Amino acid sequence: MSATPPFALSGGFLGLGPATEATRVTIAGVPFDIGTTNRPGARFGPRAIRAASSMLAGEAHPISRREVLHPAVADIGEFAVVLGDIPASYDQITAQAAPHAHLVVLGGDHGVTLPLLRALAQRREGPVALVHFDAHIDTWPSSCGQPLGHGQPFFHAINEGLIDPTRSIQIGIRSPVDPAVWDWTVDKGMTILSAQAVHEAGPAAVAARIAAVVAGAPAYLSFDIDCLDPAFAPGTGTPEIGGLASWQAQTILRGLGDINFIGMDMMEVAPAYDVSEVTALAAATLVWEYLALLPVYD
């Protein structure tokens, strides 16, 4: 346990410092939310997630017993974005993300995942598997006439060959959706588990289904905090009732230790709508759970 109390830790996630020669996993924030279609404010998500993460610093994970606060993990601060310009911001995010071998990003609206996947494609050959937690399918070709935004990242990721939809799965989907968008997504090979399906199957069965779909491929984890029910995550821009409880998401993640994850993002935390930091704490804890899955500490 650190001698520094949680409330006095530095501003990095878990109080982590900048990158060193020992760094193998890099945490960065992307304060960008101009692709939102409802309530803005996710640009302040990285700051809120980092602040809430102080509760998790200093002790080992209760299941894996890994020390997540480790020299192999660093927090490099915020990526730069271009004010008011989605395409230019995406290009800048891709350029900043590309040098990092294993990146964990705190967002930001969910459109940010597209430039992150583009950066990943620059370092790897072929598409990766996707494990996507969300209330929304995020494969709309456009929103309000805009082809780039937080409802479009996986439409473009599929079309650009960044992800393999036949080895990709979406968990917690429950929002209203155009049937044509749903059918297009399924026809491309994507597996969709609705929130109701998750409730009925239970976390262990869902974790097993995720592993079966990924089938050993390198996988990227993208988590939109609105996958959680608003009772557990009110601080988000597009809340949908009937979502996962925080314990369900946590238990599912703990069952994914055999997946070869190569990157992660946590998106859509909007602290202006939060209550007692419960959304930020849920987001920080789920990132911490992801870090505890990684073999970098072994």
Domain boundaries, the chain: 6-297
DSSP structural state of residue 34: T
Q: At which residue do the structure tokens 């990227």 appear?
A: 220
List of residues 6+ apart from 298 with CB closer than 8 A = none
Q: Which of 47, 27, 31 is nearest to 104 (CA)?
A: 27
Confidence of residue 235 (pLDDT cuts 50, 70, 90): very high
Q: What are the helix and strand counts (H, E) for the chain?
A: 9, 8
| Torsion of Cα atoms, 38 then 39 then 43 then 49, to 10° | -110
- What number is the average pLDDT over the span 106-122? 97
Residue 250, pLDDT > 70, answer: yes
Residue 1, pLDDT > 70, answer: no
Q: Which helix (H) or strand (E) holds 75?
A: strand 73-78
Residue 184, pLDDT > 90, answer: yes
Q: Count other Cβ atoms within 10 Å, centred on residue 18.
A: 11
Query: What ranges in 40-178 are assigned the alpha helix state H?
Result: 45-53, 86-97, 113-123, 153-159
169: β partners: 131, 191
Q: Mean pLDDT lowest for which of 67-81, 190-204, 211-225?
A: 67-81
- What number is the average pLDDT over the span 210-224? 98
- Would you state the pLDDT for residue 64? 86
Residue 2, pLDDT > 60, answer: no
Between CA 34 and CA 38 the distance in angstroms is: 10
Between CA 136 and CA 175 the distance in angstroms is: 6
Residue 58, pLDDT > 90, answer: no
Q: At which residue do the structure tokens 């650009």 appear?
A: 160
Q: Which tokens hold the place of 246? A: 């925080």
Between CA 240 and CA 219 the distance in angstroms is: 26
DSSP states of 239-279 as a string? --SS-B-HHHHHHHHHT-TTS-EEEEEEE---GGG-STTHH
130: β partners: 220
Classify domain 6-297 at the CATH topology level: Arginase; Chain A (3.40.800)
Q: At which residue do the structure tokens 């920080």 appear?
A: 284
Q: Which tokens hold the place of 241? A: 């009732």
At residue 193, what are phi and psi to the nearest 5 degrees? -110, 110
**Report field, pTM of the whole predicted structure over 0.85:** yes
- What number is the average pLDDT over the span 119-138? 96
Between CA 15 and CA 50 the distance in angstroms is: 8
